[in-house]
Amino acid sequence: MGSATAQRMRVAQWVIYLICGALALLAGRLVHLRAKEAPFWQRYAQDRQISTIPMPARRGFVFDRRFRVLAGSQDLPTVFADPRPMEDRAEVARSLSAILEMPAREIRALLDEPTAPGYVVIKQAVDPEVVEKLREAKIVGVGVQNEPVRTYPMGALASHIIGFVGKDGKGLEGVEKHFDPYLHATPGKRDVYRDVRRRAVLPVPDSSVAPRDGDSVVLSIDVAIQEMVEKAVAEQVTHFQAESGLGVVMDPNTGEVLAMTNQPTYAPFEGSTAKPERRRNRVLTDPVEPGSIFKPFVMVTALAEGVTTPGESIFCENGLYAVGARRLHDHHPYGFLTTAEVLAKSSNIGMAKLGERLGNQRMYEALYALGFGHPTGVDLPGEDRGLLMPLRKWDKFTTTSVPMGQEIAVTPIQIATAFCTLVNGGRLIQPRVVLAVIDRDGKVVKDNSRVIDKGQKINPTAAQTIHKLLVGVVTEGTGKPCNIAKWQVMGKTGTAQVPKIGSGRYEPDAYLGSFVAAAPASDPQVVVLVMIRKPKRSIGYYGSTVALPAAKTIMEGVLPYLNVPPDKTEPQKHASLARDPQTKYN
């Protein structure tokens, strides 16, 4: 009996020991959980109790020079989600897919990798019907609120200048990209406690961050002029069944770009879904072999260096000139032409002879000084520097090719900028499309209106002489169709073959027709450049046929719009084409 009792006592003791040991282990585990894992569970509980409510901020506006809105923001319903309280994200994605007409996998990806803790945008600018369906569905963690969405009230107008933004609101092209640090808005936030039904009940103290709207950009572009240019260039592209066309209008005295277009174009709201070739701002990005439109820049160098005079007679070899094994041709078999007539009639041979007189070094240095071979510095992204070969690579063929606008590649903005230099008295002015950045109260944040003058690149005498010669191109030369009432125009036509990339040859029946002009000749206020690429040859391809009419239409619209005083007198033979009987050079 005593022995049995003692045994039971020992068993009871072991049971007590085991229970105590288990309790000790459990207590240790609880201590471990409290010390090591409690923060996780606290955060988990807090995440289910606290939500972050974003406070939207508006991206800055883009205005034209008269403060007409080109890009803005409109409050539209935005579907957002807080993935934290969702028990089954896959099911949420499927439910939203049916309502929003979006792929479920795309929604699931957004839920799994939110751009901000507790908040991810699912879809912007949804219809009222969609909003009502979402409210009826009562999906946990999904809500709708009005947020600023980027809009472009003018549609496709000036799209290559404005650019567009991505889904995240960041600028991807054009002014939207280049000035994104100013335009960018910084959203605010506020944290709130929620009850078991996920209703906001109290704000979390000291958690609010105020939103900051973006600054706005004022462009040099004038909507009215932009519309004129887009219409004129688009009509030529359509009529001549061309691959593309472009147009630029500048103030030669300030460098302000008043209009810039590429046709065919795209609408900014298309964004990255638009065809890449339509999004290219070829005015900046695509160097071209310019052809005869380039001749004035070599001509003014010849005048400045004193290797010719306007009335000097140059023998143009009756249309055929041998340079080593190479044969140069003119479109007409000219004999003697004055220097002025060489430009007016666009003689390749006459220009080649002037190139030989100048020599490679003087020609290279003058062209580089005029802005060729390096970026103009225009305040838009993607500008190409063009191709002005290093002087060491020039040979005797280059000597006669460059004066005709061959063996050189230039961007349209370089041509327009250099032509401004020819007509403004010889000053190289940096082009620009932005006048100012202003805040929401209209205060100037960045003043971009100062003229950036890079100095005198052409001596005033040569600049004055080239004026007369360029007027002669329009009064008696290839630019004659650009004679307009009231204002005297000066300009130069160009017809260039299009090089076949990588072959060293030209594409068959592929041409670039161009015309660059300024008016009024007495005091140039406007420079216009139009280029039409690959028009259908059977319809027309000369610059005077495909590009000049658009430039003329633009001039006839822009000059009266800007209230430029007329300067035209009774038509008469221009003095610059008179021959100088004293000297003849072969």
Give residue-wise pLDDT tens across range 74-87.
888 999 888 878 88
Residue 200 Cα distances to 52, 280, 358, 447, angstroms: 10, 48, 80, 45
For residues 449-481, one letter each, b for 16 or more C-beta atoms within 10 angstroms of the residue's C-beta and e for the rest, the string is: eeeeebeebbeeebbebbbbbbbbbbbbbbbee
Q: What integer is the mean pLDDT of 483-494?
A: 96
N residues, the chain: 586
* Tokens found for residue 469: 């010669």
pLDDT for 575 beyond 80: no
Q: What integer is the mean pLDDT of 200-217?
A: 80
pLDDT for 15 beyond 60: yes
pLDDT for 240 beyond 50: yes
**Selection from 144, 143, 140 nearest residue 85 by Cα:** 140
d(Cα 199, Cα 190) in Å, to the nearest integer? 15
Are the beta carbons of 283 and 260 closer than 8 angstroms?
Answer: yes
Give the tens place of pLDDT for each residue, 416-427: 999 999 999 999
Q: Can you give the pLDDT at residue 35?
A: 60
Q: How do 216-219 and 62-63 pair as beta strands?
A: parallel
pLDDT for 7 beyond 80: no
Residue 279 Cα distances to 175, 180, 269, angstroms: 13, 18, 12
Give the tens place of pLDDT for each residue, 289-324: 999 999 999 999 999 999 999 999 999 999 999 998
Q: Can you give the pLDDT at residue 40?
A: 55
Instruction: Report the range of poorest mean pLDDT among 22-36, 108-122, 535-549.
Output: 22-36
Are the beta carbons of 518 and 249 closer than 8 angstroms?
Answer: no
Cα pseudo-dihedral 385, 387, 391, 397, rounded to 10? -160
d(Cα 288, Cα 304) in Å, to the nearest integer? 26
Are the beta carbons of 105 and 153 closer than 8 angstroms?
Answer: no
pTM, rounded to two decimals: 0.84
* Tokens found for residue 38: 């409690």
pLDDT for 112 beyond 80: yes
Q: Can you give the pLDDT at residue 583?
A: 39
Are the beta carbons of 361 and 314 closer than 8 angstroms?
Answer: no
Q: Which amino acid is at 27?
A: A
Question: What is the number of other CB atoms lying within 10 angstroms of the CB of residue 88?
Answer: 10
The residues, ordered by sequence, that sit 6+ positions from 383 with a Cβ below 8 Å of its Cβ are 284, 285, 375, 376, 377, 411, 413
* Tokens found for residue 295: 């001749």
Q: Between these two residues, 18 and 238, which has the higher pLDDT value?
A: 238
**Residue 586 pLDDT level (bands cut at 50, 70, 90):** very low
